[in-house]
Amino acid sequence: MQVDPNKVFIFDTTLRDGEQSPGASLNHREKLDVARQLALLNVDIIEAGFPIASPDDFAAVKAIAEQIKGPTIAGLARCIEKDITRCADAVMPAEKPRIHVFLATSKIHREFKLKKAQDEILRQAAGSIKLAKSFVDDIEFSPEDASRTESDFLAQVVEAAIDAGATTVNIPDTVGYSIPSEFGDVIKRLYDTVPNIGLARIHVHCHNDLGLAVANSLAAVQAGARGIECTINGLGERAGNAALEEIVMALKIRKEEFKGLYTDIKTERLYKTSRLVSQLTGMNIQRNKAIVGANAFAHESGIHQDGMLKERSTYEIMRPQEVGIEDTDLVLGKHSGRHAFKHRLQQMGLVLNEEEMEKAYERFIALADKKKQIYDDDLLMIAHQEMTDAEGVYVLDHLQVSTGTDVVPTATVRIRRGDEVFQDAACGDGPVDAALKTIDRITGIHGKLVDFALQAITTGKDAMGEVSVRVQFESGPVLSAKSACTDIVEAGARAYLSCVNRMASLQQIAHSGDLEERPTEPTP
């Protein structure tokens, strides 16, 4: 089928590169929820994970390939046979499967990381693409650290990759080193020098170490690239990847400047997708973040407010509704029925089974009793809490704290694990400290709180307090989670317990020997 030359393909890598962001790990079910929402957003390609990385990654990519219809489903593989076959097994059930193989090409990576000469790199890349091609037709190749690769060698690699059967060649700025004029030139030079370039689509994949990921990606499409690899909220390794919402809105709002280039993204779904990813990963969005930050459409100064009242376009370059921010998202109240509740959750991309839906509905009614106005963010939090409880090894049953100016803060906690019930109490420096210490005593999993941030999720004194925590476990990863409640100590305890649950399932996988297959070579 003929592809419109003005269409820019959106390749979302939130579930692969984004999930590599420290603390942003998602469980299997959460990955499916994000993938479902990305399909609603109408991205062209979902990079669902790195199947060789762990059995859990493999299972998540396979489940996404089986269940998510619409976008192409890609899996990542190094140029190594076992990676490629594993990736093929995972993506094969998809309607449109893709294998994405990568190999570093820059001098610095060749000499220090791979210890390989240029001709070896060329052979390994071509051989791997051919192997991948024996499983699926749609093959993407990425010369890792392309932006720091010698231009002649990069051109040779791209030509060889296309000759070997790559249908997409992605040019990554892996370390976020490039600047827009230079990165645009990299792409232009490839179009000028690679004879078979017309046989593949050129993508770009920019990291944000200098804060230029979006600018570099846009310079690349102006120079001829037709695919952008990006993540929701700019999530990703170190300073992150190019933010999908910023790229899409820049192309939309400045369409003339981009000479009619466009994406197929349903922009009115951007905000919901952003909230879902933030909620599930536990990664907060900075208030002044472009497009989806809480202040992105807030006008504070008197002069601006006056201008807005006279004519919105004086200070507003896009309507909040275009990205899915409604004037009010107040939708449900205490008289809303189960059907409306379920429907609203589904619109947000969340699918709960019958039992979870019933429990979530009970939580919603309980909250509606305490709080007059229920917003989408409240609903998202309720549903996520229910999913977390359903997945978790440990479930918080009861929490009581006593605190005050002249008392030693003490917490009593009751936790369930299946049919077992545990109860304990501890003192602490404050009510949160006491609650978390008690959780540590009960679960035997000890975490160090490295971050504890509190914000109101919606407006009003009766708003739920949202607590985001980052927890460092002994000889383990840093994990993040969020929870919200009208009681902020309970919110903190629930968020902390989510991290403990995630740690417990990582420990279970490690004990069952599942992690033995983790790649020994560094991952991208």
User: Would you tell me which residues interact with Zn ion (CB under 5 A)?
Assistant: 17
Nearest approach in angstroms of CB 219 to ligand KIV is: 17
501 binds, among ligand KIV, Zn ion, none (CB under 5 to 8 A by kind): none
Does 141 contact ligand KIV by CB under 6 A? no
Q: How many CB atoms lie within 10 A of CB 69?
A: 11
Least CB distance to ligand KIV at residue 141 (A)? 10
Token duo for residue 208:
């944000």
CA nearest to 217, candidates 203, 197, 231, 198: 203
CB under 6 A: which stretch of 3-11, 56-64, 169-177, 396-404 binds ligand KIV? 169-177
Residue 208 interacting entry, from Zn ion, ligand KIV, none, C-beta within 5 to 8 Å by type: none
Residue with smaller CB distance to ligand KIV, 37 or 170: 170
Are the CB atoms for 200 and 98 separated by under 8 Å?
A: no
Given the complex with ligand KIV, which of 208 and 278 has the nearer CB atom? 208
On whether the CB atoms of residues 126 and 161 are closer than 8 A, the answer is yes
Q: Which does 102 bind (CB under 5 to 8 A by kind): Zn ion, ligand KIV, none?
A: ligand KIV
Q: Is 174 in the site for ligand KIV (CB under 6 A)?
A: yes
Q: Are residues 166 and 129 in contact, defined by beta-carbon separation less than 8 angstroms?
A: yes
Contacting ligand KIV within 343-362 (CB under 6 A):
none
Angle made by CA atoms 225, 259, 272, in degrees to the nearest 5: 75
Pairing of strands 465-473, 447-456: antiparallel
DSSP 110: I
Least distance (Å) between residue 496 CB and ligand KIV: 31
Task: Give me the helix-helix angle, 118-133 and 151-164, nearest 10°.
Answer: 30
Total chain residues near ligand KIV (CB under 6 A): 10
Q: Which is nearer to ligand KIV, 51 or 172 (CB)?
A: 172
Q: How far is the CB of 102 from ligand KIV (least distance, A)?
A: 4
Does residue 172 bind ligand KIV (CB under 6 A)?
Answer: yes
- β-partners of residue 398 are 414
231 in contact with ligand KIV (CB under 6 A): no
- Site for ligand KIV (CB under 6 A): which residue of 142, 147, 231, 281? 142
The answer to whether residue 57 forms part of the interface with ligand KIV (CB under 6 A) is no
DSSP 147: G
Is there a contact between 474 and 446 (Cβ–Cβ < 8 Å)? yes
Give bridge partners of residue 213 from the DSSP assignment: none
The vertex-289 CA angle with 288 and 293, nearest 5°, equals: 80
Which member of 33, 44, 144, 378 binds ligand KIV (CB under 6 A)?
A: 144
Nearest distance, CB of residue 99 and ligand KIV, angstroms:
12
Q: How far is the CB of 142 from ligand KIV (least distance, A)?
A: 4
Residue of the chain from 11, 12, 14, 17 that contacts ligand KIV (CB under 6 A): 17
Which of Zn ion, ligand KIV, none does residue 178 bind to, with CB < 5 to 8 Å depending on kind? none
Q: How far is the CB of 523 from ligand KIV (least distance, A)?
A: 8
Is 234 a binding residue for ligand KIV by CB under 6 A? The answer is: no
| 519 binding ligand KIV? (CB under 6 A) | no
Which positions ≥6 away from 343 have C-beta within 8 Å?
none
Question: What single string gives the DSSP state of each residue in 154-205?
Answer: HHHHHHHHHHHT-SEEEEEETTS---HHHHHHHHHHHHHH-TTGGGSEEEEE
Residue of 11, 102, 141, 394 that binds ligand KIV (CB under 6 A):
102
- Give the C-alpha separation, 461 to 454, whole Å: 14
The listed partner (ligand KIV, Zn ion, none) that binds 144, CB under 5 to 8 Å by sort, is ligand KIV
Nearer to Zn ion, 230 or 345 (CB): 230
In whole angstroms, the minimum distance from the beta carbon of 208 to ligand KIV comes to 11
What tokens were used for 127?
A: 């051989």
Closer of 111 and 257 to ligand KIV (Cβ):
111
Please give the single-letter amino acid code of residue 229.
Answer: E
142 binds, among Zn ion, ligand KIV, none (CB under 5 to 8 A by kind): ligand KIV
Give the C-alpha separation, 214 to 206, whole Å: 7
Work out how close the CB of 278 gets to Zn ion at its nearest, in angstroms, rounded to a whole number.
20
What's the closest the beta carbon of residue 179 comes to Zn ion, in angstroms?
18
Of 36 and 207, which has the nearer Cβ to ligand KIV? 207
255 Cβ contact partners less than 8 Å away, ≥ 6 residues apart: 261, 262
Residue with smaller CB distance to Zn ion, 17 or 159: 17
Of 172 and 392, CB closest to ligand KIV: 172
DSSP secondary structure letter of residue 452: E
- Report, in angstroms and rounded to the nearest whole number, the Rg of the chain calculated over CA atoms: 24
- At closest approach, how far in Å is the CB of 106 from ligand KIV? 10
Q: What is the DSSP string of 49-109?
A: E-GGG-HHHHHHHHHHHHH--SSEEEEEEESSHHHHHHHHHHHTTSSSEEEEEEEE-SHHI
> Which single residue is written with the structure tokens 């002069």?
303
Choice from 31, 109, 205, 494 touching ligand KIV (CB under 6 A) = 205
Return residues touching ligand KIV (CB under 6 A): 17, 102, 142, 144, 170, 172, 174, 205, 207, 524
